[in-house]
Structure 1
Amino acid sequence: MKIHQLLRDNAGREKRPVNLVRNGAAASLYIYDVIDAYWGVSAQSVVDAVNAAGDAETLNVYINSPGGDVFEGRAIMAAIGRFKGNSIAHIDSLCASAATSIALACGEVRMSEGAFFMIHNASGLVWGDKNAMRETADLLEKVESAIVGDYTKKTGKGEAEIVAMMNAETWFTAAEALAAGFVDSVTTPDKKAKNTWNLAAFGNAPAALKAPEPVEDPAPEPEPTPSMTAANGNRLRLTLL
């Protein structure tokens, strides 16, 4: 139920649809919301934005997200992976849960001082008897195996070490994420990164992050983007929250 609590705790937030800005040879894509087809950034909106980037040489992906739907996240990863030019992830403030895999889909990952990076286990909702519960647990393990593969490939760490980090819901500062191999460099922004999310839904969130701070959004006013239809709305919704 963590995603429900996260959405409830942040119900008053200003929605931030995906925004793409083209500037010469570079395109900038802003993912500043929950990863979700209904309540935040959908995979379809990112696909449309990446397609709109066209022949840009570089796609800059700016991230401030607490995560969300794992399947939406995997589709976003695929869209970024199909971009023919260079791709650079910029972790502006928070990159948690499903958002971490999106960052790692880019060819380079840069993280601002003061930002946080969090990995943890997948979770899901299921209703039924003991067989349904066991089947869901098996499915969650399969989902996590793909995520563990993303992390081991990026960091060079062993599977057991990554699994232990996920079990513990591990929060990394920028320096810690760099040392662990999740990011390639730490940048010093003009303004210190501030958390804009209420993160009480997470058990191990640093106390300083549980109360959000107002922050000026660096992204220009976004253009309206189409949302993905819910043809599979009755499927099991798994999240990394």
Structure 2
Amino acid sequence: MKKILQLLEANRDRGSFRVKAEEGSDEATIYVYGAIGDYYGIDAQTFVRELAAIEASTIHLRINSPGGDVFAARAMKTALEQHAAKVIAHIDGLAASAASFLMLAADEIEISEGAFVMIHLPWTFAVGSADDLRASAAVLDKVGEAIVGDYVRRTGKGADEVLAWMKAETWFTADEAVAEGFCDRKAGETAAPADPEQEEPPQEPAEPDQEAPPASNLFDLSAYRNAPRALKQRARTHFDALAADRQRAEARLALIERAA
């Protein structure tokens, strides 16, 4: 649990959750742009309540998340699966850990070029006697087995192969995520028609949502051992710039206070 607390605490207030349902439209969009967890991130209870209020026939689930609490993600996933709407997941930046599990609720999953999917063994926090720790490990094994089953059903891969990926903390590029069956297609590719003999007419590309939060991949991923260097470097550069801006602001404030 030390790692998951590190992940959630480090990414507190670095994301957002929002539901957008335009009047007169039969589609709605849910933005899961942050860590998943009732205390530090996107609250499952709020998510389920907002989801229940959606009456659209199609829900776009947009994900950019470093992961979080697997049980919160399980509750969110179950609610999505039980909703009457068709769910299309869009991996806009990152679907790591619990977020890669949440995306499995979708009927279709597409991933953007440059985005990643990451799967790993579940974590927990345990204190107490040796018996307490063994009991916690047994629960973790059961949680891991359940998640392996979900990934197997999605990808069609064998349980041993999926478990090996999880043990290795595997990061899949967009192309790899499609090739291994985690995603159906890359963003911009046309979904296959239900009838192979019936081709869909070409469609105009959708206009970008001007109100959508940016999928910047600027999460603190230091809790993970195999996070791609490019993602870590991008975040470090961003946070260094923020720190420099803060130092400059504090210096100006100090100057104003001395002059006052």
The match for 1:34 is: 35
Unaligned runs of 5+ in 2: 189-205, 209-213, 239-260
Higher helix proportion (structure 1 or 2): 2
The match for 2:182 is: 182
Change (3 A) 1:62 1:49: same
Q: Which structure 2 residues correspond to residues 8-23 of structure 1 after superposition, within 5 A?
A: 8-11=9-12, 13-16=13-16, 18-23=17-22
Unaligned runs of 5+ in 1: 215-241
The match for 1:208 is: 230
What is the alpha-carbon root mean square deviation over aligned residues?
1.8
The match for 1:169 is: 169
Cα shift readout 1:191-241 (whole Å, capped 9, x = no counterpart): x96421121110011111113176xxxxxxxxxxxxxxxxxxxxxxxxxxx
Moved more, 161-170 or 179-188: 179-188
* Number of aligned residues: 210
Question: Helix, strand or coil for the counterpart of 2:53?
Answer: helix
TM-score by length of 2: 0.77
Q: Which letter maps to 2:27?
A: A
Question: Helix, strand or coil for the counterpart of 1:53?
Answer: coil
Question: Helix, strand or coil for the counterpart of 1:125?
Answer: coil
1:15, distance to aligned residue in structure 2 (A): 4.5
CA contact (8 A) 1:73 1:102 kept: yes
Q: Aligned match of 1:195 in 201, 217, 221? A: 217
CA contact (8 A) 2:4 2:124 kept: no
CA contact (8 A) 1:114 1:194 kept: no
Q: Distance in 2 between matches of 1:5 and 1:134?
A: 23
Identical-residue share of aligned pairs (%): 44
Structure ID, larger Rg: 2
Q: Distance in 1 between matches of 2:167 and 2:34?
A: 24
Q: Which letter maps to 1:197?
A: F
The structure showing larger relative contact order (alpha-carbon pairs under 8 Å, at least 6 residues apart) is: 1
CA contact (8 A) 2:61 2:88 kept: yes
Q: Which structure 2 residues correspond to residues 46-85 of structure 1 after superposition, within 5 A?
A: 46-54=47-55, 56-85=56-85
CA contact (8 A) 1:61 1:89 kept: yes
Change (3 A) 1:25 1:176: same
The match for 2:96 is: 96
Q: Distance in 2 between matches of 1:47 and 1:161?
A: 32
1:4, distance to aligned residue in structure 2 (A): 2.2
Q: Which letter maps to 2:104?
A: L
Q: Distance in 2 between matches of 1:133 and 1:80?
A: 33
Q: Distance in 2 between matches of 1:160 and 1:44?
A: 34
Cα shift readout 1:74-119 (whole Å, capped 9, x = no counterpart): 0000110111021000110010001111101111101000001000
Q: Which structure 2 residues correspond to residues 146-157 of structure 1 after superposition, within 5 A?
A: 146-157=146-157
Q: Distance in 2 between matches of 1:150 and 1:14?
A: 28
Question: Helix, strand or coil for the counterpart of 2:88?
Answer: strand
